[in-house]
Amino acid sequence: MSNYHGRKSLDLGLLEIETKTNALNLKVLEAFNETFNSFYEKDLEKSKEIIKKDKFINQFAVEIENKSIDVIRRETPLASDMRKLTSYMFVAQELERIGDYLSGICKINLKIGKEPFITKFEKIPKMEAIAKNMLKDSIKLFSNFPEEKKAMKDAKNIFSQDDEIDHLNSQVQNDLIKRMSRNSKLVEQGTYIIWVAHNLERISDRANNIAERTIYVVTGDSAAIFSYELDE
């Protein structure tokens, strides 16, 4: 009977953490969409609002970490449960960092202000679309914990997009540095835009981390994704 009640208590704890994580997922995805809408449209008031709301993302991440620690302390998790609990904490921190990157882009928007953009933004929207897809797919993967073969396939699909976003980031940097070297008046805004691209590249890295962590939860092996690639 005690084992039954212990398992039930553990499952309830996991359910609460899962619910909080799903809410955090939605907040981060919402912040992503709002950040780039406000950036392209130069909606400075919206950028200020997103910066203020970042504290709620931070709060959710702390609540997930605290609840996970509490469940570990009170219950006796199995190895599979422990992987989930530690991974909820890990993913919450990754999402919190993504929130920071988005807030950083909003702060850049405020610094640029109403000044006309010096670029037509051909590559950054492509980076935005890739990073958003990677983030959505990694969140979906972590939320579902699919069976091993599907998890590996989905994770590899996420990883495969990383090279393109790295390449685009390098192009943005090179293009703007060339322009800034020819016209010093472009240096300030050019540097800000390089940071926007950098933050998008970092968001994609965090999405990769979430996908990798899902593989760890599913297989119990943090290096499984790499050996799987070699065996194919």
The CATH number of residue 62's host domain is 1.20.58.220
User: Does residue 149 share a domain with residue 224?
Assistant: yes
User: Does residue 42 share a domain with residue 83?
Assistant: yes
**Angle between the N-to-C axes of helices 148-159 and 187-219, in degrees from 0 to 180, rounded to the nearest 10:** 170
Q: Does residue 1 surpass a pLDDT of 50? A: no
Distance between CA 195 and CA 29 in Å, rounded?
A: 20
User: Does residue 123 share a domain with residue 85?
Assistant: no
Q: Specify the amino acid at residue 2.
A: S
User: Does residue 84 share a domain with residue 20?
Assistant: yes
Q: Does residue 143 surpass a pLDDT of 90? A: yes
Select from 87, 114, 141 the last residue of a domain: 114
The pLDDT value given to residue 7 = 75
User: Does residue 125 share a domain with residue 59?
Assistant: no
User: Does residue 146 share a domain with residue 43?
Assistant: no
User: Does residue 130 share a domain with residue 54?
Assistant: no
Q: Does residue 172 surpass a pLDDT of 70? A: yes
User: Does residue 120 share a domain with residue 107?
Assistant: no
User: Taking residues 205-219, what's their average pLDDT?
Assistant: 95
User: Does residue 231 share a domain with residue 201?
Assistant: yes
User: Does residue 120 share a domain with residue 98?
Assistant: no
Average pLDDT of the chain?
A: 93
The pLDDT value given to residue 228 = 61
Select from 114, 149, 178 the last residue of a domain: 114
Q: Which has the closest alpha carbon to 139: 66, 35, 213, 67?
A: 213
Confidence of residue 230 (pLDDT cuts 50, 70, 90): very low
Residue 44: give the domain boundaries: 1-114
Q: Does residue 229 surpass a pLDDT of 60? A: no
123: DSSP letter: S
**89 and 68 Cβ atoms separated by less than 8 Å:** yes
For the stretch 80-119, pLDDT in tens is 999 999 999 999 999 999 999 999 999 999 999 999 999 8
User: Does residue 196 share a domain with residue 157?
Assistant: yes
Percent of the chain with pLDDT over 70: 94
For the stretch 37-82, pLDDT in tens is 999 999 999 999 999 999 999 999 999 999 999 999 998 889 999 9
How many domains does the chain contain in total?
2
Instruction: Give the CA distances from residue 19 to residues 24, 85, 129, 156, 210, in Å, rounded to whole numbers and listed in that order.
Output: 9, 13, 27, 26, 17
The pLDDT value given to residue 76 = 83
Confidence of residue 227 (pLDDT cuts 50, 70, 90): low
**215 and 205 Cβ atoms separated by less than 8 Å:** no
Q: Specify the amino acid at residue 153.
A: K
Select from 114, 136, 152 the last residue of a domain: 114
Give the global pTM. 0.93
The pLDDT value given to residue 221 = 85
The pLDDT value given to residue 61 = 97
User: Does residue 132 share a domain with residue 222?
Assistant: yes
Distance between CA 172 and CA 119 in Å, rounded?
A: 10
For the stretch 158-168, pLDDT in tens is 999 999 999 99
